[in-house]
A and B are shown apart, each in its own frame.
Chain A
Amino acid sequence: MSLTQSVLFAVVLAPGVIFALFSVLWLLGWNAPERVLTRATAITYSIATVAVAWLAWSVYSGGGATIAVPLGDWFTVHDYHFPLVLLGDGLSLPFLALTVILVGLIGQFSATYLHRDPGFARFYILLHLFAFGAMLIFSAGSFDLVIGGWELVGITSVLLISFFHYRQGPVDSALRVFIVYRACDIGIITAAFVLHHMAHSSSFAEGMPHLVDGDATIVGLLLLLSAAGKSAQVPFSGWLPRAMEGPTPSSAIFYGAISVHAGAYLLLRAQPIILESPFATAAVILIGLLTAAQGSMIGRTCADAKTSLAYASLAQVGLVFVEIGLGWTWIPVMHILGHAMVRTLQFLRAPSMLHDYHQVHAAAGGHIGKTGKHYESFIPQGLQLWLYRMAIDRGHLDTIMERAFLQPLMQTSRFLARLDRIGLSTARAPEKKTAEIHAVAAHNERVIDG
């Protein structure tokens, strides 16, 4: 393994090692002090930032040569193998740099923001797991490995949304986000298997597998499903405002920077496959346009800062999708990098928004009046009202999803439960017993709670 390969391998592995170390120590009963956690984070990501910069320089000075780290097969059965290959190329390195820089910054910011919070250690442990997942996504040389990182980012996202788990709201939101994630993850999982089936490989370390038009459409649409889910594109955007229940630093890095752009990265990586299929290309552009319009419209009606920023973020990611669909590569990459940085800053400043607002006005020498010159003022009054109602209900997307999928699923489940209970007259007894236990437990709780 050459030096560049070793460095890439170490950079990707480092957050995973830190996560494993602190988790095991916690399970063994050691609660790491805040200072240890923050210093370990600062040192790890400072070194990682320098290492990624050096890797970028090596690639640039080498004329754009890709750094591939073949680690062999994770497991092999017959002619099926799970390749472990890391990739450092013009596409992955900017994203790796973005991840290490932002995770390092968020680590520093959270040291103060979450000081003396009971979940301080949990936040840092999950932050490292998230970083590991994100690094896996961005450095993976095969869709199989992307899935690994993809799932880790998903689960950490959900666990951080429910960070304040002693309130019901965040936990409910986390469950809703988890449902969307799992439903959409089916796309990338199936796409990887279909690629194995059709092209006998899901590796793109030596170029994207070539697919004919029909196959490319299937794979492209499956990847788009997952990308749309992860990047909160229409029709899955309903989860994004719910995700704002998590602590602000995690909202910043997940929904302002890394996680929300993971879908765009996936499409950029799979761009050759998507562009093979006019139908998949059109779908990417259409979804991007719809999301940009929806994000822009709903963002104007949001009453709280974080949700408003989330929709602004969503609108930009929608535009990135359009750029990818148009076949551009560098414009979406630059768009993502710039947007991620600005949005992270905005999210981190969100708790101080009122303070900033007053400072801006004070600096301007008084209250800055509203101009009222927004494009919506050109829309007829009746349409404005209709659009407003739609925006207030966030595009009715949650309602539609609930009525189209969730309610029928729950009804089917309850119907099957009734079917299962047919002829169970003698088995009613334990159920009654359980119900009685619950009634007594609930009564006791009421008495204890006063």
Chain B
Amino acid sequence: MADLSFPFVSASIAFPVMAACLAFSSERWARLAGVAGSSASALCALECLREVQAAGGARLGELSTLGIFAADPLNATFLVLYSFLTLGILILAPRRDTSSKITGTTLLLLAATLAAYGADNLMILAAAWTLSALPFILGPFTGTWRPRAGLAASCVAIFGALGIIARAAHDGGAHNPFSLAELQGHNFGGSAAFALLIVAIVCRKGIFPAHAWIEDAAEAGPVLPVCLFINGHLGAFLLARVVIPDFPLSAQGAFPILSDLALFTALYAAVRAVAETKARRILSLLVLSQSACILAGLESATPEGITGALIHCMVVAVATTGLFSVLRLMEVRFGRSFTADHYLGLSEYTPRLAVFFAVCGLSLVGLPGTLGFCSEDLLIHGTLVSHPQVGLLLPLATAMNAVSLFRLFSKMFLGTQRTGIHGVGDAIPRERWVLAAIAVFIVVAGVTPSAAVALRRNAAQALNATLSPSTSVAENR
């Protein structure tokens, strides 16, 4: 395995850690340290992606002898996307959400998530997985007991799987029992390890019946860090990085069931959102529903479905970051938690925030001209080929999500105008530029989706090759 020209993955993790130390030490400079740290991280991730692309989608190591981090088409895009999302959130977050504690912990969340993406070693991945969840289990982002329980269960499950896999690999004569490269295709740990990994994914991703923690976290916790945490999509990443390559046979056997479970979650969350009134819960249910579609796509074992799922990851991450950000900015401006009980007519005061909310929302539910349309198209087509019931019911879930989203938009921004609101401004420049960047990404990538498809093609091909070698050979020809 060739090496990156510079340890960019480590650097992209180290910068946020250093920035977190600075942020913890100074309340005044917390936001600046956060922006600088996440910018540096984003630049390193970008360079890493460029080198991976230049290498034709090959897996590039980082100080190969250590075997700690590596970059490939699957994780390089996630590294870039996540660091930019964190940067955006740190720039636009309202002042009350940028205390040294919140900013520092957000930066540690970034570092841990990037470490999970970049890990070339199951031990590192499990440790990063747990570290990223710790702020939501122990604090400062704790809410009710369900997020703590769900995330703790996912951490226990992944370490349980790690123990079983390591022991089996050791017994099987593996040189490094934690190396992802060595584990590939060997099915070390068998059904027990596979089942524990699936439990970890189900708990982390909020797949039914472990779905309720996401709603609770969004409602009771700080909304922007929760949004960032959910949008790491580490559950889907674990499936793509570890479960599919290491347990291809078990995965093929279990995927029809998992696919149905993901579909059920997508429909369940969509139906739940229809009558929900709390804005934060509605958005979290939409994220849940759309995220479940990602799993359904990965489990379709078709090139279209897998590519669609990987692009949908980007769409969900970017669009829901935009939605949660606008919601938070509105909450701060109007000093309330929003519900969809009655019309507020706030577009009169914040027309641009209303437009950004609409653009992000429409992208999430696949409006043409946004990247969501391309990802939904590929997802539905891919799942229709492999699991027709999933392919036929996903548009139903998406349609219900669209209705819930439009209902929330209407209640917040349209309807009878509130009187007696003074001095409330529309998006200020730092908010406007971040939200404009999100909107531009959604629309430009939506108008020219082939760039996004090309970005995810190599990763999708690799996953597809593991799941259905015959299709992949035909494709390569």
Binding stretch for chain B, among A205-213, A291-299, A422-430: A422-430
Number of interface residues of A (CB under 8 A): 58
For chain B, residues 333 to 349, give those with C-beta under 8 angstroms from any C-beta of chain A: 335-337, 339, 341, 343, 345, 347-348
Q: Is B6 an interface residue (CB 8 A)?
A: no
Partner of B407, one of A74, A175, A190: A175
Binary contact readout B83-105 vs A (1 if CB under 8 angstroms, 0 otherwise) = 00000000000000000000000
In the complex, which residue of chain B has the Cβ closest to the Cβ of A78? B303
Q: Is B387 an interface residue (CB 8 A)?
A: no
Tell whether, in the assembled complex, residue B399 and residue A77 are in contact, meaning their CB atoms are under 8 Å apart: no
Q: Is B378 an interface residue (CB 8 A)?
A: yes
Q: Is A56 an interface residue (CB 8 A)?
A: no
Partner of A168, one of B212, B272, B416: B416
Interface of A is mostly: helix
Q: Is B215 an interface residue (CB 8 A)?
A: yes
For chain A, residues 151 to 180, give those with C-beta under 8 angstroms from any C-beta of chain B: 151-152, 155, 158, 162, 165-168, 171, 174-175, 178-179
Tell whether, in the assembled complex, residue A185 and residue B303 are in contact, meaning their CB atoms are under 8 Å apart: no
Binding stretch for chain A, among B17-25, B121-129, B368-376: B368-376
Partner of A77, one of B391, B410, B460: B460
Tell whether, in the assembled complex, residue A165 and residue B420 are in contact, meaning their CB atoms are under 8 Å apart: no
Q: Is B31 an interface residue (CB 8 A)?
A: no
Tell whether, in the assembled complex, residue B368 and residue A424 are in contact, meaning their CB atoms are under 8 Å apart: no
Q: Is A362 an interface residue (CB 8 A)?
A: no
Residues of B within 8 A of A448 (CB): 419-420
Residues of B within 8 A of A74 (CB): 374, 449-450
In the bound complex, what is the Cα–Cα distance between A115 and B415 (angstroms)?
22
In the complex, which residue of chain A has the Cβ closest to the Cβ of B396? A186
Binary contact readout A117-154 vs B (1 if CB under 8 angstroms, 0 otherwise) = 00000000000000000000000000010011101100
Q: Is A349 an interface residue (CB 8 A)?
A: no
Residues of B within 8 A of A189 (CB): 380, 395
For chain B, residues 354 to 395, give those with C-beta under 8 angstroms from any C-beta of chain A: 355, 362, 367-369, 373-374, 377-378, 380-382, 384-385, 391-392, 395
Tell whether, in the assembled complex, residue A166 and residue B395 are in contact, meaning their CB atoms are under 8 Å apart: no
Tell whether, in the assembled complex, residue A76 and residue B453 are in contact, meaning their CB atoms are under 8 Å apart: yes
In the bound complex, what is the Cα–Cα distance between A230 and B287 (angstroms)?
28
Q: Is B153 an interface residue (CB 8 A)?
A: no
Residues of A within 8 A of B381 (CB): 80, 193, 196
Given contacts A171-B410, A420-B212, A427-B145, contact A445 B272 (CB under 8 A): no
Q: Is A368 an interface residue (CB 8 A)?
A: no
Tell whether, in the assembled complex, residue A441 and residue B336 are in contact, meaning their CB atoms are under 8 Å apart: yes
For chain B, residues 376 to 435, give those with C-beta under 8 angstroms from any C-beta of chain A: 377-378, 380-382, 384-385, 391-392, 395-396, 399-400, 402-403, 406-407, 410, 413-420
Q: Is A359 an interface residue (CB 8 A)?
A: no
Q: Is B275 an interface residue (CB 8 A)?
A: yes
Tell whether, in the assembled complex, residue B146 and residue A424 are in contact, meaning their CB atoms are under 8 Å apart: yes
Residues of B within 8 A of A437 (CB): 336-337
Tell whether, in the assembled complex, residue B399 and residue A183 are in contact, meaning their CB atoms are under 8 Å apart: yes
B306 CB to nearest chain A CB (Å): 9
A228 CB to nearest chain B CB (Å): 16
For chain A, residues 181 to 195, give those with C-beta under 8 angstroms from any C-beta of chain B: 182-183, 185-186, 189-190, 193-194
Given contacts A171-B414, A183-B399, A427-B144, contact A178 B406 (CB under 8 A): yes
Binding stretch for chain B, among A4-12, A339-347, A405-413: A405-413
Q: Is A113 an interface residue (CB 8 A)?
A: no
Q: Is B307 an interface residue (CB 8 A)?
A: yes
Tell whether, in the assembled complex, residue B410 and residue A182 are in contact, meaning their CB atoms are under 8 Å apart: no
B367 CB to nearest chain A CB (Å): 6
Binary contact readout A72-111 vs B (1 if CB under 8 angstroms, 0 otherwise) = 0111111010100000000000000000000000000000
B464 CB to nearest chain A CB (Å): 8
Tell whether, in the assembled complex, residue A420 and residue B410 are in contact, meaning their CB atoms are under 8 Å apart: no
Q: Is B59 an interface residue (CB 8 A)?
A: no
Given contacts A77-B304, A82-B377, contact A168 B343 (CB under 8 A): yes
Residues of B within 8 A of A183 (CB): 399
Residues of A within 8 A of B377 (CB): 82, 144
A291 CB to nearest chain B CB (Å): 23
In the complex, which residue of chain B has the Cβ closest to the Cβ of A164? B414
In the bound complex, what is the Cα–Cα distance between A304 and B414 (angstroms)?
25
Q: Is B176 an interface residue (CB 8 A)?
A: no
Q: Is A1 an interface residue (CB 8 A)?
A: no
In the bound complex, what is the Cα–Cα distance between A360 and B399 (angstroms)?
48
Residues of A within 8 A of B216 (CB): 424, 427
Q: Is A414 an interface residue (CB 8 A)?
A: yes
Residues of A within 8 A of B362 (CB): 155
A102 CB to nearest chain B CB (Å): 22
Q: Is A300 an interface residue (CB 8 A)?
A: no
Partner of A182, one of B348, B368, B369, B403: B403
Q: Is B271 an interface residue (CB 8 A)?
A: yes
Tell whether, in the assembled complex, residue A76 and residue B373 are in contact, meaning their CB atoms are under 8 Å apart: no
B435 CB to nearest chain A CB (Å): 9
Q: Is B276 an interface residue (CB 8 A)?
A: yes
Given contacts A193-B381, A416-B268, contact A449 B419 (CB under 8 A): yes
Residues of B within 8 A of A413 (CB): 271-276
Given contacts A193-B391, A424-B144, contact A166 B355 (CB under 8 A): no
Q: Is A399 an interface residue (CB 8 A)?
A: no
Tell whether, in the assembled complex, residue B420 and residue A75 are in contact, meaning their CB atoms are under 8 Å apart: no
Given contacts A168-B343, A196-B381, contact A78 B475 (CB under 8 A): yes
Residues of A within 8 A of B302 (CB): 78
A373 CB to nearest chain B CB (Å): 46
Tell whether, in the assembled complex, residue A438 and residue B337 are in contact, meaning their CB atoms are under 8 Å apart: yes
In the bound complex, what is the Cα–Cα distance between A197 and B453 (angstroms)?
21
Binary contact readout A370-403 vs B (1 if CB under 8 angstroms, 0 otherwise) = 0000000000000000000000000000000000
B49 CB to nearest chain A CB (Å): 20
In the complex, which residue of chain B has the Cβ closest to the Cβ of A82? B377
In the bound complex, what is the Cα–Cα distance between A381 and B145 (angstroms)?
67
In the complex, which residue of chain A has the Cβ closest to the Cβ of B278? A434
A120 CB to nearest chain B CB (Å): 14
Given contacts A151-B367, A182-B399, A449-B419, contact A165 B307 (CB under 8 A): no
Tell whether, in the assembled complex, residue B391 and residue A434 are in contact, meaning their CB atoms are under 8 Å apart: no
In the bound complex, what is the Cα–Cα distance between A355 and B182 (angstroms)?
85
In the bound complex, what is the Cα–Cα distance between A320 and B348 (angstroms)?
42
In the complex, which residue of chain A has the Cβ closest to the Cβ of B435? A27
Tell whether, in the assembled complex, residue A438 and residue B336 are in contact, meaning their CB atoms are under 8 Å apart: yes
A187 CB to nearest chain B CB (Å): 9
Residues of B within 8 A of A76 (CB): 450, 453
Q: Is B5 an interface residue (CB 8 A)?
A: no
A29 CB to nearest chain B CB (Å): 9
Q: Is B220 an interface residue (CB 8 A)?
A: yes
Residues of A within 8 A of B212 (CB): 420, 424
B90 CB to nearest chain A CB (Å): 23
Tell whether, in the assembled complex, residue A77 and residue B403 are in contact, meaning their CB atoms are under 8 Å apart: no
In the bound complex, what is the Cα–Cα distance between A410 and B417 (angstroms)?
27
In the bound complex, what is the Cα–Cα distance between A27 and B335 (angstroms)?
25
Which A-B residue pairs are the 10 nearest by beta carbons?
A448-B420, A427-B144, A413-B275, A78-B303, A148-B368, A165-B414, A430-B220, A182-B399, A413-B274, A171-B414
Interface residues of A, Cβ cutoff 8 Å to B: 27, 73-78, 80, 82, 144, 147-149, 151-152, 155, 158, 162, 165-168, 171, 174-175, 178-179, 182-183, 185-186, 189-190, 193-194, 196-197, 409-410, 412-414, 416-417, 420, 424, 426-427, 429-431, 434, 437-438, 441, 445, 448-449
A sample of 7 inter-chain contacts (CB < 8 A) reads A78-B471, A80-B303, A147-B368, A413-B271, A424-B146, A426-B145, A445-B420
Interface residues of B, Cβ cutoff 8 Å to A: 143-146, 212, 215-216, 219-220, 268, 271-276, 278, 302-304, 307-308, 335-337, 339, 341, 343, 345, 347-348, 352, 355, 362, 367-369, 373-374, 377-378, 380-382, 384-385, 391-392, 395-396, 399-400, 402-403, 406-407, 410, 413-420, 436, 439, 449-450, 453, 457, 460, 471, 475
Query: With A434-B337, A441-B336 given, can you name 9 additional A-B contacts, CB distance below 8 Å?
Result: A27-B352, A197-B385, A410-B274, A413-B273, A417-B276, A434-B219, A438-B336, A438-B341, A445-B420
